[in-house]
Amino acid sequence: MGQAIAATLAKEGAAVVVNDVVPERANKVAGEIKAQGGQALSVAADVSKAEEVSMLIAKTLASFRKIDILVNNAGIAKMIRLLEMTEADWDSHMNVNIKSQFLCSKAVIEHMVKQKRGKIINLASLAAHIGAPGLSAYGASKGGVAQFTKALAVEFGKYNIMVNAVSPGFTLTKMVKQAGKDRPDFLEGMDRIPLRRAAETQDIANVVLFLASAESDYITGQVLVIDGGLLAIHPRMVKPTD
């Protein structure tokens, strides 16, 4: 999903910093953007660690001098039932999915306050809005993202900083495909989606682009659910056509 978001923003003229804890992945995406004539910098930072976030911000400012948009996209998802979950399992979800957003947002907002403008888009999940067996840690972390988003929007609106979140439903990311292999029942709900398909990563990237653009300048504190209409269905419905 991050690759699609980075490419979409770059296509619209943004200078993009591509961060990935795996350097080769960041380099690949940044290289593809440059090959298309865009501006991109690759960085390999673990955004769950404060010192590495500081390094990421320093490299960004050294190359581009300012930060207008932050997309908090780092995430992991493991389907683990509560009684099988270890403390390390819980901590890894919190560190990657919500602590990283705290660290990156805090570091970037310091500069956005001085600029008196900025856009922050946090990636949440459909799991922030529903419960599902095996997703207690993931859902809790993404629910935290939703509330974190609203709090930041209220706190920093006076500085013209807009903070919103996107909650994708079933999206054909590598993470979702792997979850489907690990637990085939994870994908069972897809036949209930009114639009009759899972989202492509480009569907989510398009929403992020909108929230990053001037067209969304009066939108803040919102958590946009992009799920093909899944949450709109009455829970007793088997399929949207029944």
Q: Which of 102, 138, 148, 170 is catalytic?
A: 138
Task: Encode burial over 107-143: b for 16+ CB neighbours within 10 A, e otherwise.
Answer: bbbebbeeeeebbbbbbbbbbbbeeeebbbbbbbbbb
Contact 205, 4 (CB under 8 A): yes
CA torsion sign, 10 to 73 to 209 to 204?
positive
Q: Is 159 a catalytic residue?
A: no
Residue with tokens 């398009």: 206
Number of H helices, E strands in the chain: 8, 6
Q: How far is CA 72 from CA 84, 150, 239, in A?
A: 29, 14, 33
CA torsion sign, 131 to 136 to 139 to 145?
positive
Phi, psi angles (nearest 5°) of residue 128: -75, -15
User: Which active-site residues does the annotation give?
Assistant: 138
